Amino acid sequence: MTQRLSVERLFGDPPLFRNLPTGMQIAPDGCYFAFLRTAEDDRERLDLWRCEASGSAPRCWVRATQLNSSSDAEASAAEKAERERRRQFSAGITSFTLSPDGQRVLLCADGAGFVMDTADENITRITPEGTRQTQLRFSPAGNHLSYVREGNLYCYSLDTGTERALTTDANQAVAYGVPDFIAAEEMHRFEGHWWSPDESLLAYTRVDESPVAISQRFEISASSFDVIEQRYPYTGEANARVDLLIQDLRTGTVTPVTYAARSDDYLARVGWANQKLAVQVQQRDQKQLTLSFADPQTGSLEVKIAESAKTWVDLHNNFRCIDDERFIWTSERDGSAQLYLYDSDGPRKLTSAPGRVSSVMYADEQQVLYLGWLEDPTEQHLYRVEITSGTRTQLTDAAGWHDVVVAPGARWYVDRFSALEMAGHISVATPTGDNVTVLEETIDQDHGYFPYRSAHRAPILGSLEGPDGSTLYYRLTKPDVTQSTHPVVVSVYGGPGVQRVRNEWPPLTLQLFAQRGYGVLELDNRGSSNRERAFQDPIYGQLGEVEVADQVRGAEFLRGLDWVDPQRIGVFGHSYGGYMAVMCMAKAPHIFQAGVSVAPVSDWCLYDTHYTERYLSTPTANPEGYRSSAVFPYLENLRGSLLLIHGMADDNVLFTHSTKLYAALQQANQRFEMMTYPGSKHALQEQSVSVHRFELILDFFERNL
């Protein structure tokens, strides 16, 4: 008997899919790799697992319940912010690090740090009872730990068991060794301090939020109402002041690195290049990015690269130092991200279009291994490029999406793979083609998803010609066609920096719709990521224009399918997707009959500096762009049914976006439905909230489509 997936079962325990490993790390000696994995009985707890390089079956190495991590201290605001910025929604062992010598493992749980000896697997708590830390990490030789507590940076000697405060004057506005809000939320720089290779120096940030005006944010929970004074950097306004310092741990001498040519420059990336500090700096308008090497004794900078663009320069994590003279870099200067080798003679291009380099995974004197694509952006593969000859070899074969971690010396790698009809597959592989499967999500009779397997609807991939002639890729999940026509929900994100259409195992939330008779279309419009610059740049200066035009093109394609009811097309999205749901409903009311908008941006003047200014400049410089990118000029055109959802403690897309939208809709005498979640932040990840939210959404579409 066919059994359809219920909302309660999807979000209930035990988890249907325990998720494939996250945070994979390979031991320095290459003998094993470790990863985090959802516990068998609790979807919100992560345990640490270990698997030998030989390919033997993985074993649970440390259960979170083994750690006495309970603390009387409530999670600090900094800890909550770090987890929110990292989109880290599970408890248990939230992060781990293998020591450089492979003899220890650093485990983090509930803000506490533990060290496990890999020989006897004895676990010792390092951080003091009753305290909570962030930014825990090993020093390069594994002799020390560093971490931040209550805004100050500490160093802990594993040899002597003593803790040393490197800074002492943190306060409500000033913190050391952490990323500022913009760095973590928008630049995806989650680090705030960096050890030199010989452990003698520690570079770290001093973040001063006092230049950012205090604004009041209301967090409404089930039984309380809190007024949060938050220094939120609204677009066009001041950012936090971020200083970069280098401290000599032997003498205590602190040397400032004056990285900013202008007072509002961004500290984008930091890392050590042997004995020099590599510093990436982005201009406030994001049209220029420089890579410089800083002398740790003087703090003086030597500029190595200056990238520029007419729109914006994307940040990446692909700088790799080979030796004192050579390093690897990626650039989009010729229209798509490609590899470059820099040496004393300047840059030499190692790869060319077609295709795109996404992530450099390994580099040495002979070769570079990277993830990217050649012909099809819906797939991701591992490639090797020989530095001398430029010969490129594709190392992964199976069609789909590959994420890898490469072992020291590139002797082998761990391949995490999935495809449209492959839930998950982990293998240990070598560049010569040897491959051993170590973990696979096989949906057999013992698997939690087995009762719903016969009702599962596998999607298909395809492409369309967009309004400007560009290629738009889509993923379409077709229902079991049991009647003449069916409704379709367009599941949209639509914003920059995200790619939804991939040849990978899709989210099971799509099955909630498909198994109830809805088709589901996902389409990556212009402006979305992992494409050439000509595809990303059209959103510059105004948002919500070409993105909506491309989604309308997708809906027109749907209306031409014989199983689709052209009068029953809805749209659903979260965050930028929530913004897109409202814009699609308002700009194309003849197409979209119903829409669900979750945590939408309604007014870009209420969003932050780095993200918004990248595409719209400032409200002063581009007032018309901000006006026409907001939802308000188009609300009078709404005709269909609209459901608005928002968390009442959202510190990313502030709840103000929705309250302003509510008021505008009411003033325009537009009817709408709404649901708010007390205490929930942007992701709305709480188990009970997830169940309630999706049951509400399904009910809404049932009534309106």
Report DSSP state, residue 560.
Answer: T
Q: Are 581 and 572 in contact (CB under 8 A)?
A: yes
Structure tokens at 187: 């630049």
Per DSSP (E only), the strands in 430-582 are 435-440, 460-465, 471-477, 486-492, 519-523, 564-574
Q: How far apart are CA 619 and CA 27, in angstroms?
A: 49
Residue 24's nearest CA partner among 36, 32, 15, 14 is: 36
Q: How far apart are CA 342 and CA 104, in angstroms?
A: 35
Residue 355: which region, alpha, beta or left (left: phi > 0; alpha: psi -120 to 50)?
left
Amino acid at 632: F
Q: How far apart are CA 111 and CA 191, in angstroms?
A: 16
Catalytic residue among 95, 486, 682, 690: 682
Q: How far apart are CA 451 and CA 1, in angstroms?
A: 9
Catalytic residue among 491, 575, 629, 680: 575
Alpha carbon distances (Å) from 463 to 39, 48, 422, 498: 38, 40, 21, 18
List alpha helices for 450-572, DSSP H: 509-514, 533-536, 546-559
Catalytic residue among 69, 650, 657, 690: 650
688 is catalytic: no
Alpha carbon distances (Å) from 173 to 85, 242, 295: 19, 12, 29
Q: How far apart are CA 175 and CA 167, in angstroms?
A: 9
Q: Are 648 and 679 in contact (CB under 8 A)?
A: yes
264 is catalytic: no
Residue 365's nearest CA partner among 335, 328, 329 is: 328
Query: In the block, which residue shows the tokens 């200014």?
Result: 613
Q: How far apart are CA 236 and CA 75, in angstroms?
A: 32
Amino acid at 550: D
Backbone angles phi, psi at 418, to 5 degrees: -150, 165
682 is catalytic: yes
Residues designated catalytic: 575, 650, 682
